[in-house]
């Protein structure tokens, strides 16, 4: 039984690990820029160790490298805004607002892949906006965090669509590694200028180090390697549906750890149900139309 569902177990383990990212973002006291910088260092080191053990080649063309590094800049801003959203609000609010990435993907993808926006995508987009409206209306005190989370979602959608283009000519592992490298380079430059190259400002509390190590190794490097392996055996539809469980896992974990600060209003949960239900419906419709398209070919 375990052997039969091994990859499904790995998939949900990966999604649960991704869900821990928001929890760790709240536990780490360092500011968002420094948090992401350390995450990148640790993750890159972990992936390099993995590549070294598996003797994986880092060879890539100059043109591909430049394009991937530039996408890394988007990832850097995406991560910083995501963690800052958590610090300005809480895990529950940030994760639900981040789920709006489905809406942005439905708007951005047609621009790059030169296709028309489907009717159901527009309808689902309106439903997500309605869900977010409920959350904004009842949790207005978290406005800054909500806005940052929505910006982070838009950036996540953007680089995901760009990866859909890059994957046609470059291996997934190389894309991930060089994107993280690009994010690290741009964030390092920003921190050097913003701190005046004062090394003392790069020091984080000892308490943060253990959470940063978990964030960089388990939630980034390990999750990246595991997700690549899982996608070799499980259909994209199953992966998409499972990944949509991430905000649910995060909210449940946050409620268990911080019941006082993470318990939200009735309106928040109404909005959350609308957003998450819409995301699942979107995945179902995409799978349905994908099957119909294959049958017609």
pLDDT tens column, 182-234: 999 999 999 988 887 778 777 888 889 999 999 998 888 888 777 767 766 77
Q: Is residue 18 included in any domain, yes or no?
A: no
Q: Which two tokens stand for residue 158?
A: 């953007």
Q: Is residue 15 situated within a structural domain? A: no
Q: Is residue 146 domain-resident?
A: yes
Where are the strands (E) in the chain, listed by range?
Answer: none
Note whether 161 and 109 are within 8 A (CB).
yes
Q: What is the arithmetic mean of pLDDT over 7-14? A: 80
Q: For 262-292, write each residue's pLDDT tens digit.
A: 777 777 888 888 888 887 787 777 767 666 5
Confidence of residue 239 (pLDDT cuts 50, 70, 90): low
Residues shown for the chain: 297
* Confidence bin at 77 (pLDDT 50/70/90): very high
Residue 98 lies in a domain: yes
Report yes or no on 6 lying in a domain.
no
Residue 107 lies inside a defined structural domain of this protein: yes
Which structural domain range is residue 166 located in? 24-290
5 is a domain residue: no
**Which has more confidence, 65 or 252?**
65
Provide the b/e sequence for 156-183 (b: ≥16 CB within 10 Å). Answer: bbbbbbbbeebeeebeebbbbbbbbbbb
The Cα–Cα gap between 50 and 48 comes to 5
Give the count of domains, the chain. 1
Mean pLDDT of the chain: 83
256 vs 265: CA distance, rounded Å:
16
pTM: 0.85
Q: Is the pLDDT of residue 237 over 60?
A: no
Question: Using an 8 Å Cβ cutoff, are 215 and 28 in contact?
Answer: yes
Asked if the structure places residue 295 within a domain, the reply is no
Instruction: Tell me the pLDDT band of 38, cut-offs 50, 70 and 90.
Output: very high
Number of alpha carbons in the 13 Å side-chain half-sphere of residue 202: 17
**Percent of the chain, pLDDT > 70?**
91
Q: Environment class of residue 90 by beta-carbon count within 10 Å: exposed (0-12), middle (13-18) or buried (19+)?
A: buried
Lowest mean pLDDT among 42-56, 126-140, 149-163, 213-227: 126-140
């Amino acid at each position: 039984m375990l052997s039969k569902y091994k990859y499904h177990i790995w998939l949900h383990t990966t999604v649960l690990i991704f869900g821990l990212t928001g929890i760790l973002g709240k536990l780490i006291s360092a500011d968002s820029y420094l948090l992401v910088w350390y995450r990148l260092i640790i993750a890159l080191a972990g992936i390099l160790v993995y590549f070294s053990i598996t003797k994986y080649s880092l060879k890539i063309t100059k043109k591909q490298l430049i394009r991937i590094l530039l996408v890394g800049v988007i990832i850097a801003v995406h991560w910083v805004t995501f963690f800052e959203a958590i610090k300005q609000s809480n895990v529950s609010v940030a994760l639900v607002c981040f789920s709006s990435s489905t809406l942005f993907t439905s708007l951005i993808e047609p621009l790059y892949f030169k296709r028309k926006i489907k009717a159901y995508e527009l309808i689902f987009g309106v439903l997500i906006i309605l869900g977010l409206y409920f959350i904004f209306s009842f949790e207005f005190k978290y406005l800054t965090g909500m806005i940052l989370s929505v910006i982070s979602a838009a950036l996540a959608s953007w680089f995901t669509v760009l990866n859909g283009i890059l994957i046609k000519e470059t291996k997934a592992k190389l894309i991930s590694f060089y994107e993280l490298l690009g994010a690290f380079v741009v964030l390092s430059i920003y921190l050097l200028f913003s701190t005046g190259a004062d090394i003392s400002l790069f020091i984080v509390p000892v308490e943060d180090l253990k959470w940063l190590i978990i964030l960089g190794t388990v939630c980034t490097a390990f999750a990246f390697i595991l997700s690549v392996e899982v996608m070799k055996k499980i259909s994209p539809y199953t992966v998409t549906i499972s990944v949509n469980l991430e905000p649910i896992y995060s909210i449940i974990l946050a409620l268990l750890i911080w019941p006082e600060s993470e318990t939200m209003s009735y309106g928040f949960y109404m909005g959350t149900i609308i957003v998450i239900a819409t995301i699942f419906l979107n995945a179902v419709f995409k799978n349905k139309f994908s099957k119909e398209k294959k049958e017609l070919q």
